[in-house]
Amino acid sequence: MAVTNASWHISLPPRPAICPPPTLMGHSQQVSEKHLRIGAWNVRTLTDNKASHRPERRTAIISRELRKFQIDIAVLSETRLADEGQLKEEKGGYTFFWKGKPANEPRIHGVGFAIKNCLINHLHELPVGINVRLMTIRLMLASSQMATVISAYAPTLDAQDEVKEAFYADLDKILSEVPKEDKLILLGDFNARVGRNHHLWRGTLGREGVGNTNSNGILLLTKCSEHNLVITNTLFRQKNKFKTSWMHPRSKLWHLIDYVIVRSKDRRDVLNTRAMTSADDCWTDHRLIRSIILLSSKAVIDDEIHHRLSCASGAFSRLRKRVFENRDLQAKTKILVYKAVVLPTLLYGSEAWTTYSRHLKALEAYHQRSLQKILRISWEDRRTNTSVLEEADIPTITATIAQNQLRWTGHVIRMPDSRLPKQVLYSQLVKGKRAPGGQKKRYKDNIKTNLKKCHIDLKAWEDMATDRATWRNLVREGAALYNDDLCHAAQDKRRLRKERATTKQVQPKPPTTTFPCPHCTRIIGSRIGLYAHLKTHKDQEGGQSYSTTSDRR
């Protein structure tokens, strides 16, 4: 059934059984490289006003604004259109979907989606309207990655409690039914102020909140905490005008009530969430909220670390009975097999890794478990990690990775200038800007840290790397020094921890102050409590006045 921009009340056609469509990442026209730009906007209404001085349709104006900010998918609140339908703006470049009240009821509430026309043919399914306040759509981001987007319009602060409870009950049901492996994106106008108390709502609220919390905000924060969600509007440090989305009609103060919410595990995929202050008002008192989300996770180092741990575990298990549990082999032979088979599998490709401390801890933990199994060391022996490494005569994973990366960097330095690895190592972005918040760690930062830890001169290392033999010896000696420093630091840390444990004294508890009643055997815990208790004796004995012990003094 064709949908034109001249028809308004068009029922959605039945959804035929279709084959899995191409992914959003696999089509170059719909999403800018690996980013999904998604927006939330309370448009107040999608109905046309014939008395307006603007001849354009409301959907055409909104399409123009969405196209200006390169929005791929926008969730719309207060559409105020009847029933359920869709409308295609050919020139605007967007298709509108909505869910509203029946035609014979007042035109209030309503939610919807505005999706780029080039994305429509690549959707896994069309949007599904739950009720006039909730609408969902499921997207295929990659060959094995799905995302569920929820458009929400919550009741206002003065709405009845039954209406609020019904909305959050429906929302809770939808959130519970979303597959755990799906990315979850919840957007819309929640008519709630979540404030900035990130200490109380740790993991749900960021440090960059605005204003105070109201009752609707408590409901939203509670629901986010139940489902392990994070409000991305509060994660990025920026001016308040880029955080707030709605101006109070009387106080003229700006507040944040429109949100973009994702799972806590996906918060790193959100590059920025901000209000677009330069958007056309379109007869609405809300600002457009735009969030840029990273779609691809193929280059994430966490997945590579997990894969390396899995491969190394498989290699270790295949040699367990034949080598590592063989009592006829010496421990020295087992260690040699471990260094020749398991370690190369574990650290394959580590020359190009940009690691954080959490990755090194995971690798070191596996390294220790493997060595303890080979040396038949039980946890009951209470051996330190440094003693296990000394017995096995093997360095730490951290020092080994540093040695591998420095050797590879020296190899790149000796390459001709025409080689791509050398060009990438010395290249810089021609255009770009720093992202809000903490910056991502670069490979150059990793190399600089390794040079310092290995006691190699930062100013002369490139000249020394041109000589292969000299550089190899320098890196080997520096890695040995780095390993010794790590072992000494671990021993010092353990010694200080033991000293604190032995010198720690139990602080005596302060004496408890009590206030006995002079007229009965009751013991009161505070002076104000005693004063209130004496009033009961006054009432029982006909108005005689009493005072506390301190008052009589």
Q: What residue ranges do the domains of the chain occupy?
A: 35-294, 301-426+442-494, 515-552
What is the distance between the alpha carbons of residues 78 and 190, in angstroms, rounded to a whole number? 12
Superfamily name and number for 35-294: Endonuclease/exonuclease/phosphatase (3.60.10.10)
- Residue 322's Cα: distance from chain center in Å? 44
pLDDT tens digit sequence for 492-549: 999 999 888 887 655 555 566 788 888 888 888 888 888 888 888 877 766 554 444 4
**553 residues of the chain, pLDDT tens digit each:** 334 443 333 333 333 333 334 455 554 333 334 789 999 999 999 988 776 666 678 899 999 999 999 999 999 999 999 999 999 999 899 999 999 999 999 989 999 999 999 998 888 789 999 999 999 999 988 666 889 999 999 999 999 999 999 999 999 999 999 999 899 999 999 999 999 999 999 999 999 999 999 999 999 999 999 999 999 999 999 999 999 999 998 999 999 999 999 999 999 889 999 999 876 656 788 999 999 998 765 567 888 899 999 999 999 999 999 999 999 999 999 999 999 999 999 999 999 999 999 999 999 999 999 999 999 999 889 899 999 999 999 999 999 999 999 999 999 999 999 999 999 888 887 877 777 777 788 899 999 999 999 999 999 999 999 999 999 999 999 999 999 999 999 999 999 998 888 876 555 555 667 888 888 888 888 888 888 888 888 777 665 544 444 444 4
Q: What distance in Å separates the CA atoms of residue 95 and residue 32, rounded to the nearest whole number?
A: 19
Q: Two tokens at 103?
A: 């035609």
Report the predicted TM-score, pTM, of the whole model to 2 decimal places: 0.56
Q: How far is it, in rounded angstroms, from Cα 495 to Cα 297?
A: 41
Spell 16-51 as b/e; 16+ CB within 10 A means b: eeeeeeebbbeeeebbeebbbbbbbbbbbbbeeeee
Token code pair at residue 268: 């790193």
Question: Is residue 446 within 8 Å of 454, Cβ to Cβ?
Answer: no
Question: What six digits make up the tokens of 140?
Answer: 């295929």
Q: What are the DSSP E strand ranges found in 453-522?
A: 515-516
**Pairwise CA distance, residues 502 & 496, whole Å:** 10
Longest distance between any two alpha carbons in the chain, whole Å: 105
Residue 504, beta-bridge partner list: none
**pLDDT tens digits, residue range 335-349?**
999 999 999 999 999
Query: Token pair 């493997």 is at which residue?
Result: 370
Q: Phi first, then psi: what are they for 267, rounded to 5°?
A: -65, -25
Contact 61, 52 (CB under 8 A): no
**Contacts with 545 (C-beta within 8 Å, 6 or more apart), sequence order:** 538
Q: What letter would DSSP give residue 264?
A: G
Report which of 284, 309, 407, 416 is spatially closest to residue 360, judged by C-alpha positions.
309
515-516 and 523-524 beta bridge pairing: antiparallel
